[in-house]
Structure 1
């Protein structure tokens, strides 16, 4: 239902945009600044009231966008398959019913032991937000599960509850899980059974936190959920819950890989997520006829937003693989497009991966016999779209993939802070080595004020999907934006004919390994705890498979070095380092190369000269 005095959506959107321009500008802490008189404050409350009325009348345009398809589908359409996992498939209705049930349990409405406690917010923040007419953010709910229907149900349940979803990395050791639990002030963790043991230990050390094991999403196979009355009732209940939400509420916190120290929580709002899924669906032509093959982590924007939330928004079907498997992906494509020519009823149409995945697929192809190779290549050619991102795609890999499958991979560019920002076109020229042009609605510019070359500098960006803040880090948030509101990406770029080319990170301490941006400083801090390491320097070296290979140069203590020399044994091996670091760092943070030196090159200030160190290593391997 829309307000009758507006003849069309455009008029309503324009008024909503006008109302929002009257709102006070955000401060870096995401609350509002009020150096104003009481009369102005009264006027402001009226504006907020008008804005909220407009939002409530607009078919939830700024609310629950990521489950909008479930709210808008008719009963019959809800019977469409949303996700598959293994040999099981689950409809939108089944996942939505499970989400509603989990939401009720978490609210303790059904008499269970479920519990969602409001996080303790500062009194000052609550007062400011109350004066602004802004609700405080909901409690944080951690979610830990492999790609499965239960993960989707848990995400939807969190949002139906007005809570903030916090996906937890499956590879996190206990120490890193504890950091996220404490930093986000997570009150409840929901997880599948296989993660009970590690999470019980973490929850025990987190005062007030609760653990809830997710029930399996149920295949009803024509039972009561398929009854039209039952579905209509479910939609009404879900819609009523969503009425209490606003577009500016936090919906999701994704933790960074720790590029500038400890991982930071990146806060996305309901409206920001809505803008992102709409943007991707329109630019890449996602429709309800698509079927995605998904094999990416769900704590990363690539796997969570591009490959899960956006397809669900479009009403597509997603085949979830627990983890990437070279043989599994090729087999799934061949079963969609068999040699017989009888295409499967609902074949895979879209695939997206990181460069390493395509390297592995090419390697797997080389091990096949001639007949299987032909069947695999023919099947891959029939997909509608193949995309690549999260790190730079080596051109030899792009060329080899295109020669084999006929697909010139669509490269795009994004960050945890705003999702996707740039893309090569769905239809049109896809330039190798370039990440494309801005999505509609996104503004960019290049800051070359500190560059020796005009037109080469840091990429700055504005986006409707921009994150709201780094969780509880107002100064860090402010430092990452220009005075006129552009986000500082930290990537050095150049632009040719409107196409953006990423030249590299501004800092040598940022390493990109297999799609993860890692902080050398954070890793060095952990490695220095090892008794055989007195000094160390972590840096990235070029690698055709992973983008960069993480190398650590260490200097051992004199006593350890003397002991090793006396026994003719190395002071430390890479295998020993990996074993030691397994419970201290995520697997992708462990170095892949270890060098033992007597001393480090230093500058006049006594600081390790990493540029010189990297130059020396590259020269020695050339």
Structure 2
């Protein structure tokens, strides 16, 4: 048997009849032999369509297994797969297409929505079925195979360039953290334009010979039914905390049906300790971690309920192959329990931002450390806590204030559905905290009530000076609060 020497190709030799992938919407199934053959035929389709070394292949579509096939086939022929966030506006998507300059565009109905010409996913699937396989042989795993556009919480999204070696290291890192084996079954309904949906939920099981069940989207009732279905046999589920919260809050939530899971894994945003402990009380390990588009899986908690309970809210310990430092404003290493900026090195790290040489140079120091912009602290045992984004920190009366700390202290307030804190300029204090609250239906909240809740929990200098109510917080397509937009909105309301 010929074929490229990649993880799917290897698993096709080790266990050709073992289940590799299921498209839940259509019911289509692939063994490893069938998936390997599909990659070889998709490689032929790409080459026949003129896609070559370094060319970008853009996709705009809801989750399907064919997207994973396309990405892995791009790697085999040296092309760069570039999935776009279909939740963005038409203007935002077209700007990313202009930035990527693709050789080929594929997608579903989202193409028509934004006025973009391209090959339909059904058309691509048909071409793959009809094509002759292309045996590309071993290939350079250091060449870029993926561009992931960052969420753009602080401005225009940047394209993160990742190689197969980078993605391999993330698969190894999460595989070690998540106890992934050839018997693992991942349910994936995180969007496959995001590092969680395309990388963390796909690469570790395929590296180890497990299976991926690809869902076309997150629906709490349907997801709960699938997680509890013994026929599907799901062992791993990865989501953002908002999704985990929606699962626990759904009337169909039945923890007894979830106990075959190795764990529910969360990342992408801070996870309140109270929410984590609620899952633990139901006997379901909920493993928080930290990762990013530029670095994949970085930290993770152990799959151990007492250990998680003892440090609920921690993002865990560094994974194999990840070097990390926490430094102060002068670049000195911080002692345990003191917050500083997280710096990273390792084979998981991206090589550059696409066509952004100045921003790439700014992101790495002279010793090759990547400056994440995340403020983190670590205890003496190497467990890490996310404090906030460096750019979100503000200085009030000479003291550093981290909005995420205030937001976490408000997480259990009965009147608050969600909230965010931003720093605004102030003549007396330099900056002051402004709390923006989305109240629960039928409820309201005053500033005095906020202070009464926070005063026993936080130092006085951390208390917000203003509280304002809004119907919703501005978010990116991946659910992150766009604090730059929120800050601009508040300044427009009250420029003084």
Give yes or no for TM over 0.5. Answer: yes
Bigger fraction of residues in helix = 1
Structure 2 residue 286 is matched with structure 1 residue 409:
yes
- The 1:76/1:425 distance shift into structure 2, 3 A limit, reads closer
TM-score (norm 2): 0.75
- Number of the residue aligned with 2:238: 352
Answer yes or no: is the 8 Å Cα contact 1:98–1:217 preserved in 2. no
Distance 1:598 1:149 in 2: 46
Distance 2:279 2:147 in 1: 35
- Number of the residue aligned with 2:141: 247
Answer yes or no: is the 8 Å Cα contact 1:291–1:316 preserved in 2. yes
Secondary structure, counterpart of 1:335 in structure 2? coil
Secondary structure, counterpart of 2:13 in structure 1? coil
Structure 2 residue 354 is matched with structure 1 residue 480:
no
Distance 2:111 2:243 in 1: 30
How far apart are 1:501 and its partner, in Å? 1.0
Partner of residue 113 from structure 2, selected from 185, 198, 212: 198
Distance 1:85 1:216 in 2: 18
Secondary structure, counterpart of 2:202 in structure 1? helix
Distance 1:435 1:596 in 2: 33
- Number of the residue aligned with 2:46: 106
Distance 2:157 2:240 in 1: 21
- The 1:74/1:188 distance shift into structure 2, 3 A limit, reads same
Deviations 1:291-334 (A, max 9, x none): 11111011111111111122222221122221111111221233
Distance 1:347 1:491 in 2: 36
Structure 2 residue 303 is matched with structure 1 residue 426:
yes
Answer yes or no: is the 8 Å Cα contact 1:144–1:151 preserved in 2. no
Distance 2:376 2:355 in 1: 30
Distance 2:151 2:345 in 1: 22
Partner of residue 324 from structure 1, selected from 204, 218, 224: 218
- The 1:347/1:599 distance shift into structure 2, 3 A limit, reads closer
How far apart are 1:347 and its partner, in Å? 1.0
Distance 1:349 1:149 in 2: 19
How far apart are 1:99 and its partner, in Å? 3.1
- The 1:249/1:596 distance shift into structure 2, 3 A limit, reads closer
Largest Rg, 1 or 2: 1
Distance 2:183 2:439 in 1: 35
- Number of the residue aligned with 1:612: none
Answer yes or no: is the 8 Å Cα contact 1:70–1:78 preserved in 2. no
Structure 2 residue 62 is matched with structure 1 residue 143:
no
- The 1:217/1:149 distance shift into structure 2, 3 A limit, reads farther
Partner of residue 348 from structure 2, selected from 452, 465, 476: 465
TM-score (norm 1): 0.61
- Number of the residue aligned with 2:416: none
How far apart are 1:396 and its partner, in Å? 1.3
Distance 1:435 1:587 in 2: 19
Structure 2 residue 159 is matched with structure 1 residue 275:
no
Within 5 Å, give how 1:259-338 maps onto structure 2: 259-336=153-230
Answer yes or no: is the 8 Å Cα contact 2:173–2:298 preserved in 1. no
Deviations 1:16-67 (A, max 9, x none): xxxxxxxxxxxxxxxxxxxxxxxxxxxxxxxxxxxxxxxxxxx99xx964xx
Secondary structure, counterpart of 1:459 in structure 2? strand
Bigger fraction of residues in strand = 2
Structure 2 residue 386 is matched with structure 1 residue 446:
no
What is the RMSD of the two structures over their aligned residues, measured on CA atoms? 3.9
Q: Which runs of 5+ in 1 are unaligned?
A: 1-58, 109-113, 119-136, 204-209, 226-233, 337-343, 522-537, 546-572, 602-622
Within 5 Å, give how 1:359-370 maps onto structure 2: 359-364=245-250, 367-368=251-252
Deviations 1:113-154 (A, max 9, x none): x343x6xxxxxxxxxxxxxxxxxx510000222221211221
Distance 1:395 1:278 in 2: 27
How far apart are 1:78 and its partner, in Å? 4.2
